[in-house]
């Protein structure tokens, strides 16, 4: 399997875009330095999500950036995405692993050391941890303290991707936690210049 660059993951949310298509936004974010894309679109029919995922995959393939599909393992398999990202209320990680095979990436959202150890044991390749800071993008997001983030980082060997309200300013606070990567939505998509926003975050990493 190719070596994965987890450093800067753009998670998508079309509702934040200002008059451009998601395809354009993803391309601009990659040009700014995003190393991974997670397609996360809520309130979308399976068919619409599938069609969108195919269009986004043609862009990520062009730039050799891995595309991860949020929630929908079936769609990840159907479009041969690099992987899938699931949460605690989705199917157990070991079930998803058995569906996607050993080569695809499996990301699991966790908020505690207990969940992190379980996900790692069940075959996760990386863990999403958050929300680390206040966010308007996911209203029901649990809060994870930076101390718990450090505890999770110490407890597992797989990469940790911080998420939730991350921006250029608070990114400095994350550096001392030793985490491997960040995932952002609004700090890239809800900005007038997506390429520049991504490049500035990348620079801070
Ligand atoms: N999971 C935890 S917080 C969050 C998700 C999907 C939203 C992150 O969005 P933003 O705009 O980067 O705070
Ligand atoms: Mg989910």
What is the number of residues in the chain?
Answer: 205
Give the ligand 1 atom nearest the CA of 40.
6
- Tell me whether residue 55 is one of the annotated catalytic residues: no
Residue 110 Cβ contacting ligand 1 at under 6 Å: no
- Tell me whether residue 109 is one of the annotated catalytic residues: yes
| Integer Cα distance of 107 and 161 in angstroms | 9
How many helices (H) and strands (E) would you count in the chain?
Answer: 9, 8
> Where exactly are the structural domains of the chain?
8-204
According to DSSP, residue 192 is labeled: S
Does 41 belong to an annotated binding site? yes
Does 42 belong to an annotated binding site? yes
Token look-up 């200002």 returns 18
Residue 56 Cβ contacting ligand 1 at under 6 Å: no
Which alpha helices (DSSP H) does 42-128 contain, by range?
46-62, 73-78, 93-100, 113-121
- Tell me whether residue 40 is one of the annotated catalytic residues: yes
Provide the CATH topology of domain 8-204: TIM Barrel (3.20.20)
57-103 pLDDT per residue, tens: 999 999 999 999 999 999 999 999 999 999 999 999 999 999 999 99
Residue 84 Cβ contacting ligand 1 at under 6 Å: no
118-166 pLDDT per residue, tens: 999 999 999 999 999 999 999 999 999 999 999 999 999 999 999 999 9
Q: Which residues face 110 on adjacent strands?
A: 129
């Amino acid at each position: 399997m190719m070596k994965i660059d987890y450093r800067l993951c753009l998670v998508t949310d079309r509702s934040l875009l200002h008059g451009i298509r998601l395809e354009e936004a993803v391309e601009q974010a990659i040009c700014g330095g995003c190393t991974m894309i997670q397609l996360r679109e809520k309130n979308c029919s399976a068919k619409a999500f599938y069609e969108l995922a195919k269009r986004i995959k043609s862009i990520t393939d062009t730039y050799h950036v891995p595309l991860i599909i949020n929630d929908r393992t079936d769609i990840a398999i159907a479009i041969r995405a690099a992987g899938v990202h699931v949460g605690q209320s989705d199917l157990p990680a070991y079930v998803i692993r058995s569906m996607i095979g050993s080569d695809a990436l499996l990301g699991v959202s966790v908020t505690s050391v207990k969940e992190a150890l379980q996900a790692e044991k069940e075959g996760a390749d990386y863990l999403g941890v958050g929300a680390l800071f206040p966010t308007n993008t996911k209203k029901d997001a649990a809060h994870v303290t930076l101390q718990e983030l450090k505890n999770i980082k110490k407890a597992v060997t797989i990469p940790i991707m911080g998420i939730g309200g991350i921006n250029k300013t608070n990114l400095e606070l994350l550096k001392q936690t030793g985490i491997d990567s960040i995932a952002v939505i609004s700090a890239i998509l809800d900005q007038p210049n997506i390429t520049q926003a991504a490049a500035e975050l990348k620079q801070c990493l």
